[in-house]
Amino acid sequence: MKSRLKYWQAFLLFVPAIAGAVVDDLPQASVYDHQTAYAIANCLLALNVCIVIYLQTWYALGFNKRSEKRSGLFKFNAFIPAAFSTLYLLVIIYRSFINPNIHLENHLPGLFHDHDLSITTWIVLGFITHALITFLFINIGFVAGKIKKIRYDVEQAELRARYLKPMKVLRATAIIVFVLTVLAELAIETIKVMS
């Protein structure tokens, strides 16, 4: 059985994040325009994270459903990043478009500000860390370990092709897109500074 997810398909999954990065890097006429572009880029990135996490969760839970011994703890752990990414996307949409913060002229762009380091920020960072660890290591490790325990080679090969390989393609593509995006952002910022 062939893998259902090819690399070119996996790269297409990241179009929203790439579009968001492009929108964020476009020159803006005012601080308000910059903040609007940033909000759009942030929503596109959060949407992309949801799509990728949902897909990996779908593969992981599909495998768990086919397993002889289903793991309730694994199922619960796989749902946490999916639920968090959905909630995070809804909060970003709400705070960016439905009830936006007042756009101040002295707003400094950046990841965190002094007033942002609250308990809520630490909880969000904890969930982001959990989602990253689950996405990069736990789901794939669990599926790979369970497949190794199967006695029949034909069934192992079929499960690897159907579940494990697409999960690995998704993970590798996410890492490649992340690295390329960071390098592109660094190059753009370097060009802006030098000109």
What is the domain partition of the chain in residue ranges? 7-194
Q: Please state, in angstroms and as integers, the Cα–Cα distance from residue 115 to each residue in 87, 111, 172, following that order.
A: 22, 12, 36
pLDDT at 115: 58
Question: Mean pLDDT, to the nearest integer, of 23-40?
Answer: 84
| Res. 1 pLDDT band, cuts 50 70 90 | very low
* CA distance linking residue 173 with residue 96, whole number of Å: 28
Residue 47 has pLDDT above 50, yes or no: yes
Instruction: Give which of 183, 181, 176, 173 is closest to 51, Cα–Cα.
Output: 173
User: How many CB atoms are located within 10 Å of the residue 142 CB?
Assistant: 20
For residue 27, the 8-state DSSP code is -
Q: What backbone torsions phi and psi does residue 6 show, to the nearest 5 degrees?
A: -90, 165
Whole-angstrom Cα distance, residue 48 to residue 58?
15
Dump pLDDT digits (tens) for 107-165. Answer: 555 555 555 677 888 898 999 999 999 999 999 999 999 999 999 999 999 999 999 99
Q: How confident is the model at residue 6 (pLDDT cuts 50, 70, 90)?
A: very high
Q: What is the pLDDT of residue 72?
A: 95
What is the tens place of the pLDDT at every residue in 59-92?
Answer: 999 999 999 889 999 999 999 999 999 999 999 9
Q: Which tens digits make up the pLDDT trace of 83-108? A: 999 999 999 999 888 888 655 555 55
Question: 54 and 137 in contact (C-beta within 8 Å)?
Answer: no
Tokens of 108: 């400094």
CA distance 101 to 116: 14
